Each structure stands twice: as C-alpha cells, then as structure tokens.
Amino acid sequence: MSDDVQRVVLQLPASAEYVDIVRLNLYGIASKMGFTYEDIEDMKVAVSEACNNSVLYAYGQDDGLVDVIFEVGPDALSIIVKDEGESFDGVDSAAERTTLHDKELSDVQVGGLGFYLMQALMDDVSVVSEAGRGTVVTLTKRLHYSEEKV
C-alpha cells in the first residue's frame, strides 16, 4: 500500500442489519472522491453482496465480526471485506466445487451468483478463502474522469 492511500476501517457484527452502515460509509467516501451516482450504486450492490456472503455463510448462527476496510487512493477505491468464518464454499470438498457453466440456474447455490455480480459491477474483484482463517474479498473501482475534468 502506497503512502497516498488513506484507510477507513469498520468492524461490525456479522449481522444483516449492519450492512446498511457499510453502504452509508461507502456512499460518503465515494461521494467525497467524486464517483458518479451510477458508480456508487454499483459499488453499494457489490459491497452488500460481499457483506451478505460473510453474514450468511461465514458464521452460520455464531456471533462473528466482519471487518470492512476502505482504501482511498488518488484514483481508485478498494473495499476489503474480511471475516474469520468458513469460506464461501462452506464444508464442500475441493472435488465438489464446480463452475456455474454446467448447472441449471435453479441448481446454483444461493449466493453462488454473488461473485459474478461483484465482477460485473466492479473493476477488480479478488476472493481469497483459507480453511479455518476466513475469507477476504477485495472490490476495486477506479475513478473514470470525464473529458471536461482533465
């Protein structure tokens, strides 16, 4: 991380009712950076998906925490959502993990489309899961300046 990146860190209970707090913070930070309304709406959907995955899959019924880190750079915003629960795939063995390409839509695990949705809405998406260590989702959106601002 370079010196010109500022970080805003939230730590929240892994509960759906706190996802709005993440969205409100995202709105404030992205507005200040100069993102368009459309970009902010896209980021809100993507970050909600990342948080919901942590809430729904990582902890089950256990009380857990989700860390959300906003990394504010000169021309990009990265949102990192970290949990310490089970990975997105839960207890599936590696052999059972398959792509969506050979499945009917009705067979797709709930939340399974979330990764594709995040990829469609953001410029870069990275998901790293380690058994017993949780999942880190990094969502990045770059500022695209219009011709008038240059």
**Does residue 1 lie within any of the structural domains?**
no
Whether 52 has a pLDDT exceeding 90, the answer reads no
**Contact between 11 and 65 (Cβ < 8 Å):** yes
Number of other CB atoms surrounding residue 23 within 10 Å: 16
Instruction: Kindly report, residue by residue over 61-113, the tens digit of the pLDDT.
Output: 567 889 999 999 999 999 999 988 765 544 443 333 333 344 444 444 445 67
In angstroms, the CA 125 to CA 113 distance is 14
> Phi/psi at 141 (nearest 5 deg)?
-130, 130
- Amino acid, res. 71: E
- Amino acid, res. 39: D
**Does residue 114 lie within any of the structural domains?**
yes
In angstroms, the CA 103 to CA 113 distance is 12
**Does residue 116 lie within any of the structural domains?**
yes
How many folded domains does the chain comprise?
1
Which residue has tokens 């089950």? Answer: 60
Whether 14 has a pLDDT exceeding 90, the answer reads no
Q: Is the pTM of this model over 0.85?
A: no
**Does residue 129 lie within any of the structural domains?**
yes
| Structural domain containing residue 49 | 6-149
CATH number reported for the structural domain that contains residue 128 in this entry: 3.30.565.10
Q: Determine what percent of the chain is predicted with pLDDT higher than 70.
A: 73
